[in-house]
Structure 1
Amino acid sequence: MHELGVVHRTIERADRTAVEALSQFGVATVHEAMGRLGLMRPYLRPVYEGAKLCGTAVTVLLQPGDNWMLHVAAEQVQEGDVVIAGCTTESEDGFFGELLAASLRARGAKGLVIDGGCRDVDELRRMDFPVFSRAINAKGTVKATLGSVNVPVVVANALVNPGDVIVADTDGIVVVPAAKAATVAEAAAKREAGEESKRERFKAGELGLDMYGMRGHLAELGLTYVD
């Protein structure tokens, strides 16, 4: 059951040092470093090219076609937060646009991830306010029905708790539980260092077949080369 009509003012955000460390890595690296967990469904896309963000989650549960709770959530935003909005049922209405972006930015928000629609895309691009949404839709919304703020929400099949770390870029969106942020950041750094070594070997012409020792297993499975 969804918890409706509640705003939790006190949440435990991930450690800021860990968030800053995670911001140095792309979504794919963070996802792999966390054991291939935490990805949102890929239908959520940046509304303009080059959008990316990393911050702690202020969560919002919306009602379809109603953006009232985004205004309620703005009051709870602190510097470095990302607003993460799910909906009680599928809706692609334009919940969010330029004016709400101005409000969230004034509170220190790093951006928005919303399992719904967004509009005013040209203005958001000019503001460089990152938004990831399921649709771009000019259709407006009303302010009539209660949802909640800072409750656990499911956004694009991923569970987000208030204070979790959200990393988003062109490749997708990943949720890092607050308690695991420092550990995942450390694992991501190790993975990145390993990839740099492999990158140089690939550039020098070495094949993945040899680097990863694939030839023997392929032969065992019966791969045959024919000249």
Structure 2
Amino acid sequence: MSNPGYRVKNTIVRPDATLVEAFRSIPVSNIGDAMNRMACMHARIRPMNRAPLLGTALTVRVRVGDNLLFNKAMDMARPGDVLVVNAHDEPFYSIVGGQMTTWMKRRGLAGLVVDGCIRDAEEIEAMDFPVYATGISPNGPVKEGGGEVNFPVACGGLVVNPGDIVAGDRDGVVVVSPADAPAVLEKAHALMKKEARVMAAIADGTWDRTWVDEMLRAKGCEFID
């Protein structure tokens, strides 16, 4: 019998590690631009340290203030997985702290993205393990249960599916479907080359800015002397 809202799916399809690794050197902003600026998480999901993020989503949805299913997901995850957790942007309770984060790093996970709070902030800030969250609260969670593992979740304003590619840097987090990844990589590399040309033009003072007035006129802006 199916039990929506309290279930764990043990098997997910992960993309090839080479495909995931191809995103390693690309800024999140370029990946997001390559997806028409529709694939980056809300700014409330912010980095808790300086470790860059790249891996494959293992998705979790928990009850507000409860981390029992988070603990299950943490033990299920494989090296290279990123736990992506819908904790409902809860500001009062944290659902993860230093011990659990250290355990995830020890097991080779690639990082954590939680739409909710952490604690043990100084410890996590010093870690070489990427953590993204909405904030910090010293209040710990309960463990009564309820939730789902490896079903689609909402996190930072996006729908994240198990097996999606998740990347993060100081700007934030972006999510890429493996089916879209080859096209996104091609576009992102083209954008990086374009940005390099612009930066070179800025350096030598030749950056063409005529497009600004042209666009304003095309959109009906009135210029008054």
Q: What TM-score results when the alignment is normalised by the length of structure 2?
A: 0.90
Q: Identity rate of aligned residues, in percent?
A: 33
User: Does the Cα contact within 8 Å between 1:62 and 1:85 map onto a contact in 2?
Assistant: yes
What is aligned with 2:30?
Answer: 29
Instruction: Give, as a single letter, the amino acid of the residue that structure 2 aligns with 1:39.
Output: C
Structure 1's consecutive aligned runs of 4 or more residues displaced over 6 angstroms after TM superposition are none
Q: How many residues align?
A: 221
- The separation in 1 between residues aligned to 2:215 and 2:19, in whole angstroms, is 39
Describe the superposition over 1:73-123 as per-residue Cα deviations: whole angstroms up to 9, x where unpaired: 012211111110003x44121111111112211221111100110011111
Say if 2:119 is the partner of 1:122. no
The secondary structure found in structure 1 opposite 2:8 is coil
Partner of 2:195: 195
Query: Structure 2 vs 1, CA of residues 143 and 216 (structure 1 numbering), >3 Å: closer, same or farther?
Result: closer
Shift of 1:17: 1.5
1:142-161 equivalence runs, <5 A: 142-161=142-161
1:91 and 2:100 aligned? no
Partner of 2:166: 166
Cα distance per residue 1:160-185 (max 9 Å; x no partner)? 00000111112121111121122211
**What amino acid is aligned across from residue 163 of structure 1 in structure 2?**
G
The structure with the greater share of residues assigned to strand is 2
Pair 1:4 & 2:5 matched: yes
Q: Quote the Cα distance in structure 1 between the aligned partners of 2:116 and 2:9.
A: 22
Is the CA contact (8 Å cut-off) linking 1:114 and 1:133 kept in structure 2?
yes
Equivalent residues of 2:89, 2:117 under 8 A apart: no
In structure 2, C-alpha distance between the alignment counterparts of 1:222 and 1:57, rounded to whole Å = 45
Gaps of 5+ in 2: none
- Which is further off, 99-108 or 56-65? 99-108
What residue in structure 1 maps to residue 177 of structure 2? 177
Is the partner of 1:116 in helix, strand or coil? strand
**Aligned-residue offset at 1:218:** 3.8
Unaligned stretches of 5+ residues in structure 1:
none
Contact 2:82 2:113 in 1 (8 A): yes
Deviations 1:45-65 (A, max 9, x none): 1123x2320110010111111
SS in 2 for 1:166: strand
For residues 4 and 137 of structure 1, the distance between their equivalents in structure 2, rounded to whole angstroms, comes to 25
1:146 is displaced (CA, Å) by 2.2
1: CA distance, partners of 2:161 / 2:35: 17
Alignment map for 1:123-142 (pairs within 5 Å): 123-142=123-142
Letter in 1 for 2:165: V
